[in-house]
Amino acid sequence: MEPRDLFVGLGSNIEPHANVRRMLDYLLRLAPELDLSPIAVTAPVGIQGGGQVFLNLAVRLRTASASAEVKEYFNTVEVALGRDRTDPGRKQRDRPADLDILFALPVAAAVVPASIDLPTETYLRPQLDALLTYVGVGPAGATDPMASLTKVALDFHGTTVGPTCVTLRRRPSNPQETA
């Protein structure tokens, strides 16, 4: 399979600061480079009992793996971080890790085709729009899609992630660390 860019939604509302870092570590095992949107603090949607606030972001990673293999890996990551994927009500519960493939594009894509339904959820769309602008897919927005959202800054192996879009790269000397 040819490499392609996967756009991924990532979120956590159980120990979110630590679990976002852990998910990024896992994603860097899958792909040597990640492009990240800003990280937004968002209210839980559809969570029983109200839930804790989420940290949500969008990520672009390049892979030649089939989407089914990537989703299986994401499920393994979610379980490793404490999500009970066997719970029939898991979509309405607080979660330490949530990783979802949003869509894929060819590596050289300059726009998102009209045939792809972009997510509309307010807890993810602004981050996705910021990321698409950052990676040069589609027209640059006239305004900052994240302007009205609360953003957080996280230290990720010496790199600040969260307030703005950023690219993370796996260090060649140690595949578990980033530059």
Choose among 136, 160, 126: nearest CA to 56: 126
Angle, CA 25 vertex, CA 179 and CA 96 arms, to 5°: 145
Identify the pLDDT of residue 179: 45
Which residues make beta-bridge pairs with 160?
155
Distances (CA, A) of 150 to 11, 94, 127, 162: 15, 20, 11, 10
Cα separation of 15 and 122, whole Å? 22
Give me the chain's average pLDDT, please.
Answer: 89
Identify the pLDDT of residue 50: 65
What confidence tier does 159 reach under pLDDT thresholds 50, 70, 90?
very high
Angle, CA 13 vertex, CA 21 and CA 30 arms, to 5°: 35
User: For residue 112, how far is the Cα from the chain centroid?
Assistant: 17
Identify the pLDDT of residue 44: 82
CB-based contact 63:6 (threshold 8 Å): yes
Instruction: Calculate what percentage of the chain has a pLDDT beyond 90.
Output: 70
In the chain the domains, ranked by start, together with CATH numbers, are 4-169 (3.30.70.560)
Is residue 45's pLDDT more than 90?
A: no
* pTM assigned to the model: 0.89
Is residue 8's pLDDT more than 90?
A: yes
- Note the residue count of the chain: 179
